[in-house]
Structure 1
Amino acid sequence: MALIALSLSLSLASPVLAQAVSDPTPLQYRDAAEEARFHALAAELRCVQCQNQSLADSNAQIAHDLRREVLVLMQQGNSDAQIKQFLVDRYGEFVLYRPPMEARNALLWFGPPVALLIGAGVLVWVVRRRSRGIEPMDKSEERW
């Protein structure tokens, strides 16, 4: 009975625990151009906690902190490339939605298309091989 009560209380409390953290103080932009640049840059960066959300979309506390840090770096005069490099140095290339193509990550860029082509080639080879191996049967060779 106690186990049922515990699981019921946890299931009722889970929506409260799962709520997103709200940003207590909104970001202050100098002008509309800075705001547009900030939103474009935040959309190109990945939340380091959520993994499948951009920095702009995430409600995790670290995303709020990183958005604030990105804005401060922008207001200090850093370029987008400098801000991205700062975050890559701190969190790794995972923070970039579009990492640069380099020799060490070429498999990530070219692996899926190459695997698809190899699979299509194997499929064509198997179909052709089977079609050559099956000969039409004469009516006289039918067996009941």
Structure 2
Amino acid sequence: MRGLARAAVAAALWLALAAGPALAVQPDEVLDDPALEARARALSAELRCLVCQNQSIDDSNAELARDLRVLVRERLVAGDTDAEVIDYVVARYGEFVLLKPPFSARNALLWASPALLLLAGGGYAFINMRRRARRRSPALSPEEEARLEAILNERD
């Protein structure tokens, strides 16, 4: 009986924690039209909470995220397409509001920077290893080679 009670408490705790992000959208925000609400949820999942920064506005409980969710729903009710809603929010808050910003000429360096840093680091390591190898094994002059040969022959 005691094990069953622990399992029930653990299950209740797990359900409470798993349902946390779903509680961000308040009941007064939900649209009556299920199709519009589904579109609103899909759009909200693409937009970054400007307060939390690593959460979508759909998952965030921040007041600004709530305002953005309401704004998205207002634009959808007004008849905007999904692209128009995204364009409106981006025009107002910048590309940073997008969780997955599109590749463009403006942000090409940002997208390419990991590869460029990896190449620069690899090039630096390669050059540094070659320099160290040269320092460790200096070439012998002909006189030194002859002397080394003489020393080695004396031992045999």
Conserved 8 A contact 2:29-2:70: no
Equivalence for 1:28? 31
Equivalence for 2:74? 72
- Work out the number of aligned pairs and report it: 117
Give the Cα–Cα distance (whole angstroms) in 1 for the partners of residues 32 and 115 of structure 2.
Answer: 42
SS in 1 for 2:106: helix
Report the aligned-residue RMSD: 2.4
SS in 2 for 1:103: coil
Conserved 8 A contact 2:25-2:58: no
* TM-score (ref. length: structure 2): 0.64
TM-superposed CA distance for 1:22, in Å, is 8.1
Equivalence for 1:114? 116
Larger Rg: 2
SS in 2 for 1:25: helix
Equivalence for 2:132? 130
Equivalence for 1:43? 45
Distance 1:114 1:29, change over 3 A: farther
* TM-score (ref. length: structure 1): 0.69
Conserved 8 A contact 1:27-1:68: no
Equivalence for 1:83? 85
Return 5+ residue gaps in structure 1 as ranges.
1-20
Structure 1 stretches of 4+ with a deviation exceeding 4 A read: none
Superimposed CA distance per residue, residues 105-135 of structure 1 (whole angstroms, 9 cap, x where no aligned partner): 2111111210111111111121122123212
Letter paired with 1:112: P
Conserved 8 A contact 2:44-2:56: yes
Q: Which moved more, 1:71-80 or 1:51-60?
A: 71-80
Letter paired with 1:75: V
